Structure 1
Amino acid sequence: MKRSGKLILNASLYTLPVICSMPHNLLLKLINMTQQFHSLVNNLHQPSVLVIGDLILDTYLRGASTRLTPEAPVPVVNITSHTCVPGGAANTAINLRYLGAAVTFAAIVGEDTAGKEAQALLSKEGIHTYLINCNSRNTIVKTRVIAGSQLLTRYDEGTEIPVPDGCEEKLIAFLEDTFDHYDAIVIADYNKGVVTPGIITALERLNAERKKFIAVDAKRLDLYRQLRPSLVKPNYHEIMQLLQLPEKSSYRAAQLRDMGGAISRLTGAEVVALTLDAEGALIFNKGEIVCHTPAYPVSQLNVSGAGDTYISAFTMSCLSGMELCDAAEMAAAAAAIVINKDDTAYCARGELIAFFSMHNKYLDSTAQLKEVCAVYKAQGKRIVFTNGCFDILHSGHVSYLTRARELGDILIVGINNDESIKRLKGSTRPINQLQDRMEVLGGLGAVNHIIAFGKPGDDTPIELIRTIAPDVFTKGGDYTREGLPEAEVVEELGGVVTILPVVPDRSTTSLIRRIHTSPVLKVAQG
């Protein structure tokens, strides 16, 4: 969500519908990538990234319209909110920051209110800025007027011609002084006049002396051929202009699949991530096709800023050592998240964790659990939590968990780890090890997520309950509310405790006893 002048970190409201509509093969990819992504996120250092490009201030005027103006057949909009967010190259900087980078943003702006507001917004987000005030320019502002969910018009203002020599020289001097400080350079060139041929030449010289990871998203990639970028991200329209080929409305991937060599020669890039909207992206490495990654389904379509997110996520993935195809999957997921948001948006690291966790039943940390629950809560989902050993799953367990799920939308199960069960049940337990118990539980359709718990001195799920803040905490009828140490914590967090009746004569202990007293077992042992 956003307030005027402030970006508020929040889980995407649309992540779950995106995944629920996902084809089976994409869902399997999500599940397979989850563990790898979590490992990379946990081990990722905070790279230092410089972003250079055209700063745009995106302004949104929202309101309601119930009539037409008498002057002309156009709607009258009663404005109820006025929101400003950093756009253009500044949105790339925002995305990199929320994905975990230490970001410096360099640009040239006008000596005006819009430039000052953009700088203040970036500073609030922890981004170091080097903004050169140029008195011959006006900061670019794009203002959108929206009635309800309908965009009615957009009007633009600001200077889009190349910056004057004096301002260009200041930016080049800054690059020369700080080039060594960064792990990567991201150039977001919207062709608004900031990234001049002189600045590109300076970057070519600096990079030849001290090679850096350089990613370029530009309207005219041919201008960067001598820079030999590590990564470029053209879209379909840009690449067709570069290749001087006619555009098609469909089968774009097939049209361009064999064009990697030509694209590599024209851009000078080592890696090309060619985005094709609904057809996903083609990834080339040194002119050879590496993979074709599909686009994730989206529940609404707001592409403003999606390209900024894509190149930011791709760059961060490469800096973390991820393989190119996995980096493309990560970038596609990040783009899907922002396309489902309103306005110019960013993708946070936590949202990616949640995206790749939503269909993984087995959660391995409270941090992962927290992000998943944040998404469910943002969507208004009612979360039910229960816990137990589930040593030998029987019909009583299945009946209980089915009824527990009916108390809400999402059922999360805490399962005692092996050491915890030994402390609670004795040295002969558990009969089945944790991994086996989790896999059996995971086969139940009523269960959405499973997470293990238990540590010396505390075999209660209180830590999980504090992380989840469930709407409902449920236990079987062999417990009472007064006998549950967790109950008070649940109610402090606004949840309710519900005791469900158990199926008579169904328990793991009685099942083990029956096995030991079984005549068939005794004959077999004899």
Structure 2
Amino acid sequence: MKMINIEKKPKILVIGDLMIDSYLIGKCDRIALDAPVPIVDVKEEKDELGGAGNVIRNLASLGAKVSVMSVVGDDDNAKLLKHMLDEEGTKSFLLVQKGRNTSKKTRIMTSNQQIFRFDHESRNNISFDNVKKLYEKLQEKIKAYDVILLADYGKGILTRDFTQKIISYANKNNVKTIVDPHGTDYSKYQGAYLIIPNRDEATAATGIEIENNDRLLDVLKEIKNKFQTHEAIVTLSEQGVALLKENKLVVLPTVPLEVYDVAGSGDTLLASIGFALALDNTLTASLEFANLATGVVLRKPGTGTVSIEEIQSDQVYLDRKIIERNLSCQVK
């Protein structure tokens, strides 16, 4: 397996739904007297960037120069979010919309398990005025980016109109748009360079049940033709990633080392594919890189990030295993 070209720091713009992932971590060994609920004695509190913010964390960890455009509420969570983005070295263009809640998901954790979660967020579409302002900023800055990542979590930032404006203008300026989709109507992503659905999402978007490789090939063709994408892939969990190459099905398998936690792996996949494509690597090479990156994160608890050094370490290990396997086959 050949390592991708990483000779420069790519400039990547992330547009999407920013969130704060908050964790209250403690010990639970009793039940409340006033209600049949567990009592967690909180020993640790921590906040992390979530949603599109976790994509940003992974890009920063890989060494990219990251910018973000989004809309937040007029609240304390927005101030905390901006501070956390600044700590990642992210260039932020955040608009404040009065009456909107900045997304924050609080998880109660004990014994490495989530027992409860409560959310503060808004899921209505951002205002037409804010769409106009974000689009004007995109038009002003488009030449500064190698790739645009759209991280859609259905919280109202990537409206249909705004998403189509982004993709259309990016295409006019030869900038790739890569989408982590939400929902079943992919027409809002029409014309994107690449959409990254998993097996279930691809089935819901195309109406084709993936019962075998022939149906999987049909799904890939449908995505590319119906939504006019430049490339077509479907992620297959532990089986790897399927892509359409010269109108044929190609499956790039993962090499599972260990799985600790799947949380945030989709964000790592989007970030690592975008990072590699921004450096002008082929889609195949970018997906192989993303498989390694995701494999690293799957071995970490929570929404972890990945570095080039960790990916290179895994690659050396896997290359050695492949050589050992080939030598074993030759001896036999």
Distance 2:319 2:178 in 1: 32
TM-score, normalised by the number of residues in structure 1: 0.58
Q: In 2, are the aligned partners of 1:92 and 1:312 still within 8 Å (CA)?
A: yes
Alignment of 1:258-297 (within 5 A): 258-285=218-245, 288-297=247-256
- The offset of 1:253, in angstroms, is 5.4
- Structure 2 unmatched runs, 5+: 328-332
Q: CA deviation at 1:267?
A: 2.6
In structure 1, distance between residues paired with 2:152 and 2:242: 21
Question: Partners of 2:189 and 2:38 in 1: how far apart?
Answer: 47
Following superposition of structure 1 onto structure 2, how do residues 12-161 of structure 1 map, counting pairs within 5 Å?
Answer: 33=1, 36-37=2-3, 40-41=5-6, 44-161=7-124
**Which segments of 5 or more consecutive residues in structure 1 lack a partner in the other structure?**
1-32, 362-438, 444-526
Give the structure 2 partner of residue 340 of structure 1.
299
CA offset at residue 63 of structure 1?
0.8
Answer yes or no: is the 8 Å Cα contact 1:58–1:344 preserved in 2: no
Matches of 1:336 and 1:229 in 2, distance apart? 26
Query: What SS does the corresponding residue of 1:201 show, helix, strand or coil?
Result: helix
Structure with the greater alpha carbon radius of gyration: 1
- CA gap of 1:208–1:338, structure 2 versus 1, over 3 A, is closer
CA distance in 1, matches of 2:137, 2:212: 41
Cα-to-partner distance string for 1:362-389 (whole Å, 9 max, x where unaligned): xxxxxxxxxxxxxxxxxxxxxxxxxxxx
Q: Which residue of 2 aligns with 1:317?
A: 276
> In the TM superposition, what is the alpha-carbon distance from 1:184 to its structure 2 partner?
0.9
Q: What is the match of residue 148 of structure 2?
A: 185
SS for the counterpart of 1:303 is coil
Q: Quick check: 1:253–1:279 contact (8 Å CA) kept in 2?
A: no
Superposed CA deviations along residues 363-418 of structure 1, whole A, max 9, x for unmatched, are xxxxxxxxxxxxxxxxxxxxxxxxxxxxxxxxxxxxxxxxxxxxxxxxxxxxxxxx
Contact 1:260 1:289 in 2 (8 A): no
Q: Which residue of 2 aligns with 1:165?
A: 128
Q: Equivalent residues in 2 for 1:341-356 (5 A)?
A: 341-356=300-315
| 2:147/2:277 contact within 8 Å kept | no
Q: Quick one: distance in 2 between partners of 1:148 and 1:298? A: 24
Shift of 1:347: 1.3
* Structure-2 separation of matches of 1:321 and 1:201: 24
Counterpart of 2:198 in structure 1 is: 235
CA distance in 2, matches of 1:298, 1:360: 13
Identity across aligned pairs (percent)?
A: 26
Counterpart in the other structure of 2:330: none
> Which residue number corresponds to residue 326 of structure 1?
285
State whether residues 164 and 189 of structure 2, in contact with CA within 8 Å, keep that contact through their aligned partners in structure 1.
Answer: no
TM-score by length of 2: 0.89
What is the DSSP-based 3-state SS (H/G/I as helix, E as strand, rest coil) of the residue aligned with 1:126? coil
| Equivalent pair of 2:292/2:314 in contact (CA under 8 Å) | yes
Q: How many residues align?
A: 322
The aligned amino acid for 1:299 is E
Q: Do 1:60 and 1:343's aligned partners in 2 also have CA atoms closer than 8 Å? A: no
Offset of residue 223 of structure 1: 3.0
Q: Which amino acid aligns with 2:232?
A: V
> Which deviations, in whole Å up to 9, do the C-alpha atoms of 1:81-138 show, x marking residues without a partner?
1111111111112212222211101110111111111111111111111111111200
User: Matches of 1:305 and 1:133 in 2, distance apart?
Assistant: 26
Please state how far the C-alpha of 1:258 moved relative to its aligned partner: 3.5
CA distance in 2, matches of 1:354, 1:166: 47
Map of 1:306 onto structure 2: 265
| Cα distance in 2, alignment partners of residues 60 and 298 from structure 1 | 27
Letter in 2 for 1:259: V
